[in-house]
Structure 1
Amino acid sequence: MTDIASFRLLQPLSRRALLGSAAAAGALIVLHPFAARAQANQAHLRIMETTDIHVNVMPYDYYADKPNDTMGLARTASIIGAIRAEAGNSMLIDNGDLLQGNPMGDYMAYEKGMKEGDLHPVMKAMNLLGYDAGTLGNHEFNYGLDFMFNVMQGANYPVVCANLTRGQLASDPKNDDLFFKPFIIIEKTIRDGTGAESPVKVGFIGFVPPPIMVWDAKNLEGKAMTRDIVEAARAWIPAMKEAGADIVIALSHSGIDAAAHTDRMENASLHLAGVDGIDAIFTGHQHLVFPGPKTWDGMAGVDPVRGTLMGKPAVMGGFWGSHMGLIDLLLEKDGKSWKIADFTTEARPIYHRNEDRKIVADVASDTRVEDSVKAEHEATLAYVRTPVGKTSAPLYSYFALVADDPSVQIVSNAQTWYIREMLRETEYRDYPILSAAAPFKAGGRGGADYYTDVAAGAIAIKNVADLYLYPNTVQAVLVTGAEVKDWLEMSAGMFNQVEPGASDAALLNADFPSYNYDVIDGVTYRIDLSQPAMFDKEGQRVSDGEGRIIDLMFDGKPIDPEQRFVVATNNYRAGGGGKFPGIAGDKVIFAAPDTNRDVIVRYIIDQGTINPSADGNWSFAPLKDTSVVFSSGPKGRQYVGDIKGVAIEPAGDGADGFALYRVKL
């Protein structure tokens, strides 16, 4: 284990770590109450979790090509020393999703490669920090089994996984031919409240999401198989107890879902907690923070305040190094074995937002970790700045709110391509696939330069940040034709109602965020601006009319309100974000393990040359002798003549550096 004295102890009374060596020198360590009050035959054991690092060792956003204070194992590492010092005894685990998720991961897999004996930058960093155990996440398989095994061989800690087999499942899970040990029991010497030392046997068992067989079928089909998490746990937990484990800890790369348990369920951690013999659970995969409010409110069996699943301590430590998950156990010796007398849970962040919602770093990086991956970091910077494909036309968003747009089109193309592949072996393979995408960089509060603008020709990975700002993940929902229309009606709240015959009426509703203006590809339609909006910003119907969406067609025919469609979108929208009528989590049929950004990058690599030209599947309905005006970036003037089906012309200068444009309806 790494000597904790080599870490800067940056954790003061407020639990906000201090920046800078001078501040660090004056920081105080406050013992956890369990460590402070432990008596004879009582000991405090703190178990620390990192999860969903996704190759984010450095506090750097490679897509945007700039530093980022919300991420990085190097930042999380800088508080490990202080967190250990607060505890009487401690252990450190990782809960998976290490190898894919940012361009450094792609660089290592696609450019540099991993031979047997090579040390991956993630392992370089983690080996410095003294991990005790870890498990696999679904993204470990994205580059194939050989790559994963070559990386994992470099880990200085044991990797456990109880539900990944080499072949078909055995009739008894304990007879499965597993790739990794299902569990490990670590005998750790701990000090009780009097300072007396004695061993405690801590068992760790790991689980990977079973749907990897769908998500990574091309890498796993015929080579591996997964077993249901709960089924595997019920088989192996008694074996751990028989082997002498005092405490059993589940490393579950699986989220929290209160839905009824189903075979090979993706997010099974709540049901896993119900397995007899498990004492505590580390979760992940969902990129959320637990304990925490709102997300988990009202879920049966979940206490989001104390941090329990089925009454047992549980934690989910965010993603990309944003938090350190902590489970603190007060152990009592009962004869020759130990049991849990009390516990607390916490997900400790590396940053916070101030009153202005601006991000403030709470920690500096651990320089040893940064230095360990310096060469790979610099190589990754060169990689993201190097073209990975070409675009046959410019990618810009100056007119994304008033015309079918190339920057939105390419996102839709990538989402459709991805979802079609993901669903090809499922019950939804024959459903028509639509795609919903919104412009993110569309001026507004971001200013007159806040637009996507990528020239035709070579396109680099970092340009993807211009196409997709947020780290959303791809999801697919199953909806009816009527719900497609309502979806578009909600989006059409972007526009003010326009009186026919008006001259230069204001087009855009300033209170409507551009990220809620979804364009749906795969259908054609027109928007009648003379009609009032059907829904308000809360998704409540406010008009009894037929709505603004007219001539809505699928496959050249009026859309059937009863026909069902798969719509590719993102987790924000699919989960109810934007309060679109009828769109919520119960419509989700597929929740991808991949971000929209990653899907766009893969699409560009797959296509070689992308064609982002908008297909003109939507437009405004004509209104005689009517014109409207809107603001956009002045650099958009160069593209005015490229817009399909919309008569746009410059209309002078606007306020705050914006330009005005006119649309003749």
Structure 2
Amino acid sequence: MSFLFTQTNVTRRSLLGGIAAGSALVMLHPFAARAQANQAHLRIMETTDIHVNIMPYDYYADKPNDTLGLTRTATFIDKVRAEASNSMLIDNGDLLQGNPMGDYMAYEKGMKAGDLHPVMKAMNALGYDCGTLGNHEFNYGLEFLFNTLNGAKFPIVCANLTKGQLASDPKKDDLFFKPYVIIEKQIKDGSGNSSPVKVGFIGFVPPQIMVWDAKNLEGKAQTRDIVQAAKAWVPVMKEAGADVIIALSHSGIDGTGQSERMENASLYLAGVEGIDAIFTGHQHLVFPGPKDFEGVPGADIKKGTLQGKPAVMAGFWGSHMGLIDLLLERDGNKWKVVDFTTEARPIYHRDENRKVIADATDKPEIVAAVKSEHEATLAYVRRPVGKTSAPLYSYFALVADDPSVQIVSIAQTWYVKNLLKDGQYKDYPVLSAAAPFKAGGRGGPDYFTDVPAGDIAIKNVADLYLYPNTVQAVLITGEQVKNWLEMSAGMFNQIPVGTKDAPLLNPKFPSYNYDIIDGVTYQIDLSQPQRYDGDGKLVNPDAQRIVDLKFDGKPIDPKQKFVVATNNYRAGGGGKFPEIAADKVILVAPDTNRDVIVRYIIEQGSINPSADANWTFKALPGTSAVFESGPKGRQYAAAVKGAKIEDAGDGAEGFAKFRLIL
């Protein structure tokens, strides 16, 4: 089986225009400048995790944002093409979901056969050569996915997504997409002569989509382990004549050891013989770079290699352009890689005052291509649905009970109680689990919810709940409620009593896994070690971070049954919370959590989402901790219920530092 495409670089460049390669302003890459007659420079450019951020615009805040946008990355594409003798452009997935434009296209406009999604308009205009799938491609269902991807003027590859059960041999899997393509590309060598090189691209998606999007995929699809699929297909690509093999891996970098069906398998994918370079994504981090993967065995953060092979992860939302430059050398009629460099080039930087400075401008052709969808999205997100009598903000959602999480829980409880009121579970108490999604971190110092009192629009609801999850409910015991909270408490570092200004937050714990459970009261004892690790494994059996856990004012009965309203991700096992899995699900609702919030606000007309401080930290005399949040949070710090928070000056990269008195 062979999938072969041909292309001519000169034609693609003449169509795209941009900076002329002969311009005196262009600095050629050293490989292009020094290539000999039997050598050629090939630059491969990556975008990843765009999440529908075509425009440099934050639809939640309803204002421009210089840290994101494919229209900005697009100007880099022109520039870096001009620096190279030969170039190709790929995307590494997570295109179709992630901001209100994605929701508008899925829920308001819809995608019928023959429609052209704005993401495809932009990518076709930029001349992408190949792409693969991300896990969020499946959030709106398979019909939406295929109607969208049918508009791509470039191949989409994925070697580990099947239409049914896995075959005994991966090469016999009934795949939704081509596992690979081999593009025969005309390249100029050091002497200026053109000749063909066969560049193979193979793609992979995280196997966990079968959990995260079970409602869209169960009974329709299956996934195979990434490394297993690669070991089957890469030799086939070699036999089909590929000179160079590039892995498009929508999978991150995890150095804790290889395991079956790993979510972040790129490090071990690099160990597959025959793969020459790896493009990674999914984690919304940057590689190579000084901090994100420091200390990961087998990952060289300076040279940009995984197990010695060139690799790149280009941030998210268009924040970076990933570059792998290959020096190819002809060996008879074949080409091989003899040298390489890697780079993740940002579209902005911060000055000495921490102000964001754009390093790229918009590409007018892309702005024009998506103008109508951009304007329609603005109208969509500005539509009011109700009022709030108190501000909704998430600046302190990780350190105190928070109004932005409170309203989600209130709406979920209201919805689930209504659905269960006449059925077999009508007499069970209903709790609600919700997590803060916009809590700074990798998203930066402005990545927080901040809705003033007054009108609430759809953009505000989308800001409260970023993902198109659907409501589900599980039936669990009081003991399992406690263990759920123990897992969530991995958000925090252990802090011995009497310690001053200890770092509070565990940077490896994602905020979307920090569930707060409403309907019970409890405290978190930070002097204790965490009971579970990030994979839900019991690592400290004697640890009890969750103390004074009560329901209805009394200590919770470990055997009592509770219904917990949550989302399909968590109920299906997402986050690896102990004993929370599909076998506990008693309700699979048809509505998204976001729609439920909108419905609740519409029915109430006006809401008062003030936090009730149902959880706090246990007092630790003489102890304090520090954490970072958005500078705009300073106006709310004194009003936070259940916690004493002080301004502790400036943090790093535009954040503010705060002190929590324990």
Query: Are residues 609 and 168 of structure 1, via their aligned partners in 2, closer, same or farther at CA, if it must alter by over 3 Å?
Result: farther
Q: Which residue of 2 aligns with 1:356?
A: 353
Q: Which residue of 1 aligns with 2:163?
A: 166
Structure 2 SS opposite 1:553: strand
| Structure 1 residue 218 displacement after superposition | 0.8
| Structure 1 residue 436 displacement after superposition | 5.7
* Match among 511, 514, 521 for residue 517 of structure 2: 521
CA deviation vs aligned residue, 1:467-489 (integer Å, no higher than 9, x gap)? 5899xxxxxx9985995898899
Q: Does 1:320 align with 2:313?
A: no
Please tell me whether Structure 1 or Structure 2 has the larger radius of gyration of its CA atoms. 1
Query: Are residues 101 and 332 of structure 1, via their aligned partners in 2, closer, same or farther at CA, if it must alter by over 3 Å?
Result: same
| Structure 1 residue 2 displacement after superposition | 4.0
Amino acid corresponding to residue 250 of structure 2 in structure 1: H
Amino acid corresponding to residue 368 of structure 1 in structure 2: E
Q: Retained in 1: the 8 A contact 2:392–2:609?
A: no
Q: Which residue of 1 aligns with 2:452?
A: 453
Structure 2 SS opposite 1:181: coil
| Structure 1 residue 3 displacement after superposition | 3.1
Structure 2 counterparts to residues 485-524 of structure 1, below 5 A: 520-522=516-518, 524=520
* Match among 155, 178, 202 for residue 181 of structure 1: 178
Structure 2 counterparts to residues 271-420 of structure 1, below 5 A: 271-387=268-384, 389-390=385-386, 394-396=390-392, 406-412=403-409
Query: Are residues 355 and 195 of structure 1, via their aligned partners in 2, closer, same or farther at CA, if it must alter by over 3 Å?
Result: same
Q: Retained in 2: the 8 A contact 1:246–1:338?
A: yes
* Match among 72, 85, 98 for residue 75 of structure 1: 72
* Structure 1 unpaired stretches of 5+: 12-24, 419-431, 471-476, 498-508, 536-546, 570-584, 592-597, 622-631, 647-665
**2-structure distance, mates of 1:241, 1:488:** 45
* Match among 122, 126, 129 for residue 129 of structure 1: 126
Amino acid corresponding to residue 597 of structure 2 in structure 1: I
Structure 2 SS opposite 1:100: coil
Q: Which residue of 2 aligns with 1:44?
A: 41
**1-structure distance, mates of 2:273, 2:491:** 48
Point out the more displaced range, 212-221 or 405-414.
405-414
| Structure 1 residue 181 displacement after superposition | 0.7
CA deviation vs aligned residue, 1:152-174 (integer Å, no higher than 9, x gap)? 11111011111111111111111
| Structure 1 residue 298 displacement after superposition | 1.3
**1-structure distance, mates of 2:352, 2:378:** 33
Q: Retained in 2: the 8 A contact 1:210–1:227?
A: yes
Q: Retained in 2: the 8 A contact 1:183–1:206?
A: yes
| Structure 1 residue 62 displacement after superposition | 0.6
Q: Which residue of 1 aligns with 2:648?
A: none
Structure 2 SS opposite 1:105: helix
| Structure 1 residue 414 displacement after superposition | 7.6
Q: Which residue of 2 aligns with 1:214?
A: 211
Query: Are residues 183 and 453 of structure 1, via their aligned partners in 2, closer, same or farther at CA, if it must alter by over 3 Å?
Result: same
Structure 2 SS opposite 1:295: coil
| Structure 1 residue 114 displacement after superposition | 1.1
Q: Which residue of 1 aligns with 2:425?
A: none
Amino acid corresponding to residue 38 of structure 2 in structure 1: N
Q: Retained in 2: the 8 A contact 1:4–1:81?
A: no
**2-structure distance, mates of 1:58, 1:129:** 14
Q: Retained in 2: the 8 A contact 1:480–1:562?
A: no
Q: Does 1:604 align with 2:582?
A: no
Q: Retained in 2: the 8 A contact 1:434–1:523?
A: no
Q: Which residue of 2 aligns with 1:248?
A: 245
**2-structure distance, mates of 1:612, 1:61:** 26
| Structure 1 residue 606 displacement after superposition | 7.0
Query: Are residues 404 and 240 of structure 1, via their aligned partners in 2, closer, same or farther at CA, if it must alter by over 3 Å?
Result: closer
Q: Does 1:3 align with 2:1?
A: no
**1-structure distance, mates of 2:491, 2:296:** 31
CA deviation vs aligned residue, 1:78-125 (integer Å, no higher than 9, x gap)? 121210111111111111111111111111111111111111111111
Q: Does 1:59 align with 2:56?
A: yes
**2-structure distance, mates of 1:227, 1:116:** 29
Q: Retained in 2: the 8 A contact 1:398–1:452?
A: no
Report how many aligned residue pairs link the two structures.
Answer: 546
Q: Which residue of 2 aligns with 1:232?
A: 229
| Structure 1 residue 553 displacement after superposition | 2.3
| Structure 1 residue 452 displacement after superposition | 3.7
| Structure 1 residue 635 displacement after superposition | 11
Q: Does 1:616 align with 2:612?
A: yes
**1-structure distance, mates of 2:504, 2:330:** 60
Query: Are residues 84 and 522 of structure 1, via their aligned partners in 2, closer, same or farther at CA, if it must alter by over 3 Å?
Result: same
**2-structure distance, mates of 1:235, 1:512:** 45
Structure 1 SS opposite 2:157: coil
**1-structure distance, mates of 2:198, 2:580:** 40
Amino acid corresponding to residue 177 of structure 2 in structure 1: F
| Structure 1 residue 612 displacement after superposition | 6.0
Structure 1 SS opposite 2:156: coil
| Structure 1 residue 374 displacement after superposition | 0.4
| Structure 1 residue 74 displacement after superposition | 0.6
Q: Does 1:103 align with 2:103?
A: no
| Structure 1 residue 312 displacement after superposition | 0.5
**2-structure distance, mates of 1:377, 1:482:** 40
RMSD: 5.1
Query: Are residues 417 and 280 of structure 1, via their aligned partners in 2, closer, same or farther at CA, if it must alter by over 3 Å?
Result: farther
| Structure 1 residue 300 displacement after superposition | 1.1
Amino acid corresponding to residue 169 of structure 2 in structure 1: D
| Structure 1 residue 454 displacement after superposition | 3.5
**1-structure distance, mates of 2:407, 2:299:** 40
Structure 1 SS opposite 2:612: coil
Q: Retained in 1: the 8 A contact 2:53–2:68?
A: yes
Amino acid corresponding to residue 521 of structure 1 in structure 2: I
| Structure 1 residue 263 displacement after superposition | 2.1
CA deviation vs aligned residue, 1:166-195 (integer Å, no higher than 9, x gap)? 111111111111111111101111111111
Q: Which residue of 2 aligns with 1:114?
A: 111
| Structure 1 residue 616 displacement after superposition | 3.3
Amino acid corresponding to residue 100 of structure 2 in structure 1: P
Point out the more displaced range, 54-63 or 255-264.
255-264
| Structure 1 residue 198 displacement after superposition | 1.1
| Structure 1 residue 561 displacement after superposition | 11
**1-structure distance, mates of 2:250, 2:200:** 17
Query: Are residues 369 and 390 of structure 1, via their aligned partners in 2, closer, same or farther at CA, if it must alter by over 3 Å?
Result: same
Q: What's the % identity of the aligned pairs?
A: 61
Query: Are residues 405 and 55 of structure 1, via their aligned partners in 2, closer, same or farther at CA, if it must alter by over 3 Å?
Result: closer
Structure 1 SS opposite 2:594: helix
Q: Which residue of 2 aligns with 1:153?
A: 150
Amino acid corresponding to residue 376 of structure 1 in structure 2: E
**2-structure distance, mates of 1:399, 1:329:** 44
Q: Which residue of 2 aligns with 1:582?
A: none
* Match among 259, 264, 267 for residue 267 of structure 1: 264
CA deviation vs aligned residue, 1:597-651 (integer Å, no higher than 9, x gap)? x986355257565766457353899xxxxxxxxxx99999xxx9xx9999xxxxx
| Structure 1 residue 462 displacement after superposition | 3.7
**1-structure distance, mates of 2:157, 2:219:** 22
Structure 2 counterparts to residues 435-474 of structure 1, below 5 A: 435=434, 437=436, 452-455=451-454, 459-462=457-460, 464-465=462-463, 467=464
Query: Are residues 481 and 152 of structure 1, via their aligned partners in 2, closer, same or farther at CA, if it must alter by over 3 Å?
Result: closer
| Structure 1 residue 400 displacement after superposition | 8.0
| Structure 1 residue 131 displacement after superposition | 0.9
Q: Retained in 1: the 8 A contact 2:312–2:342?
A: yes
Q: Retained in 1: the 8 A contact 2:485–2:516?
A: no
| Structure 1 residue 386 displacement after superposition | 1.3
**1-structure distance, mates of 2:407, 2:47:** 34
Structure 1 SS opposite 2:168: coil
* Structure 2 unpaired stretches of 5+: 1-10, 416-430, 468-479, 529-543, 567-574, 582-590, 618-631, 644-662
Q: Retained in 2: the 8 A contact 1:246–1:339?
A: yes
Amino acid corresponding to residue 353 of structure 2 in structure 1: D
Amino acid corresponding to residue 3 of structure 1 in structure 2: R
